[in-house]
Amino acid sequence: MNYLVLAPTSREYRNMNDSLQGRDLHHSYTVVRCGVGKALAAANTALAIARAGGEFDRVAVVGYAASTIGRSRGDIVAPRAARYHDCRIPQDFVPELTEPYPLMGHDDAVVWTGDSFVDAAMIADTKERFGVTSGLFDMESTAVCQAAELFGDLPVVVVKMVSDVPEEGDTEHSYDEFVDSHSDFGAIIDYLENLK
């Protein structure tokens, strides 16, 4: 299996590459820094897929994500669906922005994508608007799904390490402290290696 691995930040990119070194791998991994935010992530995903000329079998989005209450910092989560949380338009008007994208993950969770670093109030709003109780939050995954769909419906898996739980008072400072001390992505690689 040939994976295109998308890592949003320079730390996530470095951590993924460092964790791949010296491992006995069943699959091949091309790691690309896709950048932070929906537009940049989609553009860099499309560029990487186009340049590869059809060599990728799957797309993986890896790194850190905020979580709702119920998960702990350091948990590895692979959601089953990706959706935007910051689209405030009727679903029937633009379904590609409001409908969920299926993911290859096994965890009963949604990764919610938006162009903001979320806080407790934003998470509460998402829970109320969509009638959910749990999920992850990032700034890239759903946009990556859209780009992967455009290039032959490439399957996408999102594997994230919980970095912060804003409902428990975590902030961007908590995120930075966690990321600085949790750089081993071995568990993320293990998940990708064992994914059927």
Give the list of residues 6+ apart from residue 34 with CB closer than 8 angstroms, or none.
Answer: 6, 7, 8, 40, 41, 44, 45, 48, 61, 140, 144
Band (pLDDT 50/70/90 cuts) for residue 93 is: confident
pTM for this structure?
Answer: 0.95
Which pLDDT score is estimated for 97?
84
CA distances (Å), origin 183, targets 74, 170, 176 = 11, 19, 12
Q: State residue 147's pLDDT score.
A: 97
Q: Are 185 and 161 in contact (CB under 8 A)?
A: yes
Whether the pLDDT of residue 91 is over 90: the answer is no
Both structure tokens of 141: 């995954």
In the predicted model, is pLDDT for residue 92 greater than 80? no
User: 183 falls in which pLDDT band (50, 70, 90)?
Assistant: very high
The answer to which of 34-43, 85-94, 152-161 has the lowest mean pLDDT is 85-94
Non-local (6+) Cβ contacts of 192 within 8 A are: 3, 5, 27, 29, 60, 157, 159
Confidence at residue 24, expressed as pLDDT on a 0 to 100 scale: 96
pLDDT tens across 120-175, in order? 999 999 999 999 999 999 999 999 999 999 998 999 999 999 999 999 999 888 89
pLDDT tens figures, 47-57:
999 999 989 99
Among 2, 136, 125, 124, smallest CA distance to 63 is for: 136
SS (H, E, C) 124-182: HHHHHHHCCCCCEEECCHHHHHHHHHHCCCCCEEEEEEEEECHHHCCCHHHHHHHHHHC
Q: What is the C-alpha to C-alpha distance for residues 153 and 169, in angstroms, rounded to an integer?
A: 38
Whether residue 118 contacts residue 135, with contact meaning beta carbons closer than 8 Å, is answered with: no
Check pLDDT > 90 for residue 89.
no
Q: Which run of H or of E encompasses 76?
A: strand 76-77
Cα–Cα distance, 48 to 138 (Å, whole number)? 20
pLDDT of residue 192: 98
Q: Write down the residue that tokens 């690689």 correspond to.
A: 189
User: What average pLDDT does the structure give for the chain?
Assistant: 95
**Mean pLDDT of the region 29-47:** 97
Mean pLDDT of 105-109: 96
Rounded Cα distance between 177 and 192, Å, is 26
Is residue 78 left, alpha or beta, with left meaning phi > 0 and alpha meaning psi from -120 to 50? Answer: beta
**Mean pLDDT of all residues in 23-37:** 97
